[in-house]
Amino acid sequence: MVSYLVRRLLVGLLTLGLITCMIYGLIRSMPGSPLDTDPAMMDPSKMPSKADIERMRAVYGLDKPLHEAYWQWLKNAATLNMGTSYSQKKPVAELIAQRVGPTLQLSVTSLLLSYLLAVPMGLYATVRSGRPDERSMSFVLYMLYSFPSFVAALFLQLLFAVKLEGTWLELPLMGNQSNDYETLGDMAQAWDTFQHMILPVTCFTYGSLAYYCRFVKANMEEVIRQDYIRTARAKGLGPIRVLIHHAFRNTLIPFVTLLGLTLPGLLGGAIILEGIFNWQGMGLLFFESILGRDYPTIMSLTLMFSILTLSGQLLADILYAFVDPRIRYS
C-alpha cells in the first residue's frame, strides 16, 4: 500500500509539472498582456510612457523569456508564494481566500441538499419500482438531469426576478447580497443571504440530485436481488430494516468513489452559473483573471484545480480499497 501511494504521488507530481508547464505556455501565448487589458491604460491621456511600460514589464516578469519566467514561477510556487495579482494589486492567496467562502456556501449547501434528498428518493423509487408514481418521478428526474443548468438559471431569473417582481415570491436577480446589506440587522442579513442563495443553489442542485437519485436506484436494484436480502426477508425482518441495513449499506462503495470525484467541483465553482448570477466566487474569479490576463491568478487557480482533481481520483482509489477489502494495491 505504501509503495503504491508513493508511486502514485510521484506520478501525480510529474503530471502537475506537465499541466502547469502547458498552461503557462498557453496563457503567455494568449493575445494581449495584463498591461493592455487594464481599462485605465486605454485612456490616451494616461498612456504610460515607453520607459514606464518597460519598467512594468520588468516588475511583472514579462521581459524574461518563457522558460525563465516559468522556472521563476515554479520556484515561487514551491515555497507557496503564489505572487501578486496584476489587476487587483493584492496577493493571490488573499484573493482566493476571499472568493472561497461564497463558492463553498453554494457548493456545500447544494451537495448536502442533493445527498439528503437523493438517498430517500432513491430508496422510495426502489421500493415502488415499476409503479406509476415511481415511473413519473423517474421521468421528471430524467428531464431535470437533461435540463442544462444555465438555461434553468435564465428561466428562473426570468420567472422569479422579473415576472414575479413586486409579489411576495420575488427573488433577487443576482449577486451575493443586497446593496444595503451592511445596514440590516442580524436576522434581516440572514434572510437576505438566504434569498440570494435560493436560485443559485437550486440550479447547482437539481442536476446532481437527479443523477444521484438514479445512481442510488441503479445500485439498489442490483443489491436487492442478492440472496442475502431474501434471507433477511425470510427471517422476518421488517421491510425498512432490510432496505436500509442490509441493502443500502452495501451500495455505499460506489458512493464513496462518487464523493472523491466531486471534490474538485466543491471548490472550483462553476464559471457559467457564477457568471449568470454574478456570484463572487472562484469560477467568476477565474473568468475575470482570464479576461484580464492576470497570469499569477490563472496559474494559481489552475494549480489548485489540478491538485484537487488528481487528489480526488487518488482519494477515490484509496477509499475504494478501504471500504472493499477485496481490492488490493501493490
Partner 1 sequence: MNQKDRDSVVVSAGFWQQSWHRFRRRKLSMFALYFIGVLSMIAVFSPMIAGTKPIVCRYKGSIYFPCMGYYNRTWENPIFQKDRFRRIYPRNLKRKDPDSWAIWPLVYQDPHRPVRRNEWEGMKGNPYGAKGQPTSKNWFGTYKTGFDVFASMVHGTRIALLVGFVSTGIAATIGITLGAIAGYMGGIVDLVISRVIEVVMCVPALVLILSLQAVIEDVSIWNIMMLLGLTGWTSMARLTRGEFLKLRETEFVAAARCLGASRTRIMFRHVLPNALAPVMVPIAFGIAAGIQVEAALSLLGFGAPPPNPSWGTILNSGRETLQSGYWWQLVFPGMGIFLTVLAYNLIGEGIQEATDPRLADPGN
Which residues contact partner 1 (rule: CB under 8 A)?
Answer: 11, 14-15, 18-19, 22-23, 26-27, 29-31, 142-143, 145-148, 150-151, 154-155, 157-158, 161-163, 173, 271-272, 275-276, 286-287, 290, 298, 302, 305-306, 309-310
Q: What's the min distance (Å) between Cβ of 221 and partner 1?
A: 12
Q: What's the min distance (Å) between Cβ of 157 and partner 1?
A: 6
- Give the nearer residue to partner 1 in terms of CB position, either 117 or 218: 218
Q: What's the min distance (Å) between Cβ of 275 and partner 1?
A: 6
Q: CB neighbours of 152 closer than 8 A, spacing ≥ 6? A: 202, 203, 206
Inter-residue contact 254 to 219 (CB < 8 Å): yes
Q: Is 91 helix (H, G, I), strand (E, B) or coil?
A: strand
Q: What's the min distance (Å) between Cβ of 235 and partner 1?
A: 29
Q: What's the min distance (Å) between Cβ of 31 and partner 1?
A: 5
- Give the nearer residue to partner 1 in terms of CB position, either 195 or 309: 309
Residue 91 — φ and ψ, nearest 5°?
-60, 140
Residue with cell string 466543491 = 266
Q: What's the min distance (Å) between Cβ of 223 and partner 1?
A: 15
- Give the nearer residue to partner 1 in terms of CB position, either 134 or 184: 134
Residue type, 182: E
- Give the nearer residue to partner 1 in terms of CB position, either 150 or 215: 150
Residue type, 57: R
Long-range contact pairs involving 19-24 (C-beta distance under 8 Å, separation at least 24): 19/302, 19/303, 19/306, 20/70, 20/73, 20/74, 20/77, 20/299, 20/302, 20/303, 20/306, 21/70, 23/298, 23/299, 23/302, 24/66, 24/69, 24/70, 24/73, 24/299
How far is the C-alpha of 15 from the C-alpha of 305, rounded, in Å?
A: 13
- Give the nearer residue to partner 1 in terms of CB position, either 124 or 145: 145
- Give the nearer residue to partner 1 in terms of CB position, either 77 or 184: 77
